[in-house]
Amino acid sequence: MKNLLTVLVVACTLFVPATLANAQERVGVEVVYAGGKLSDMFSYPLDRTLRSGKQLDTNGIAVNAEVRLTDIVSVGYRFEHLGLRHSQFVIESVLTNGEVQRMAEPNPNAATSTVAYQEWFGSFKLPKTHSHALIVGLAKSSFEQEWSWREQGGIGKSKYGSSETGLVVGGQGRQTAGPLTFDYTGRLYPRLANTTGYKGMPSQFESVGLEIRGSATWSIAKHVGLTGGYQFRRMSTDLMTTGANGQPWPLHENKDSKLVLVGLRLSF
């Protein structure tokens, strides 16, 4: 009996279409606390034994709003603003026996750091796909970090930032099982314009990215639900700098954001 119930729950989760209440929903707004980790790591194609970068704790707010214009077309907006703390320098070395040696130490000069994300998108329902839709939109992600230190004659400061702007495409789905609603999305960022560097010295590159997001919402009232989920986003960039000998030195950057999401979903 227990196994049969498990099979029924899984089947409902995968195949039951949205309820009539969800079908009539015109506006959905999700407001959640977002907390997790940001990892900004560099690998070096000319030295495959080394990776280095920084890791930070993140916490802030994320908002997702979507309005249904017709039975097929919806428009939406996403916003995230996260503060970063507990900055650490990280170095990973591959030893001769293949093991990875990892060293991490606090960054005492880190002052303020923030990550922001905005996205405007259209959602186009795909017929006969059990409430799945195509997503097309425009996204912008930005990262800023400031350092400060004491030096002779005052306080020294430095500011580093990067931003990625471009097209986002993907898909989303929603399934309902009783009082629970499951939402899941996958996004690709095929070609992003990347501006990165220290204040006053930006450089232009090209990035690609991906995002996977899933959540479950428990309806506690007619228009209110408690929601929780997880989101992973990666932005990858091939960079070029100058080595100690003055020769070009390529780098590959992976900027990974891992977030746990907890909050409210309102629907009307």
CA distance 119 to 77: 6
User: Regarding predicted confidence, which is higher, 11 or 101?
Assistant: 101
Q: Average pLDDT, stretch 231-248?
A: 86
Neighbouring CB atoms inside 10 A of 96's CB total 6
What is the Cα–Cα distance from 173 to 257, expressed in whole angstroms?
A: 22
77 pLDDT band (50/70/90 cuts)?
A: very high
**Structural domain harbouring 51:** 2-267
Alpha-carbon distance of 39 to 190, in angstroms, equals 21
31 touches 263 (CB < 8 A)? yes
100 by Cβ neighbours in 10 Å (0-12 / 13-18 / 19+) ranks as exposed
Tell me the three state secondary structure of residue 14. helix
- Residue 259 sits in a domain whose CATH number is 2.40.128.90
Backbone φ and ψ for 125, nearest 5 degrees, come out as -65, 135
How many structural domains is the chain composed of? Answer: 1
Report percent pLDDT > 70 for the chain: 87
What is the reported pTM? 0.85
* pLDDT averaged over every residue in the chain: 86
> In whole angstroms, what is the distance from residue 205 CA to residue 162 CA?
10
Q: What is the pLDDT of residue 201?
A: 67
Q: Is the pLDDT at 1 greater than 70, yes or no?
A: no
Range with the poorest average pLDDT among 65-79, 127-141, 144-158, 240-254: 144-158
Contacts of 215 (CB under 8 A, 6+ apart): 30, 182, 183, 184, 227, 228, 229, 230, 261
Kindly give, in sequence order, each residue whose CB lies less than 8 Å from that of residue 214, ignoring residues fewer than 6 positions away. 182, 183, 184, 185, 229, 230, 231
What integer is the mean pLDDT of 240-260? 87
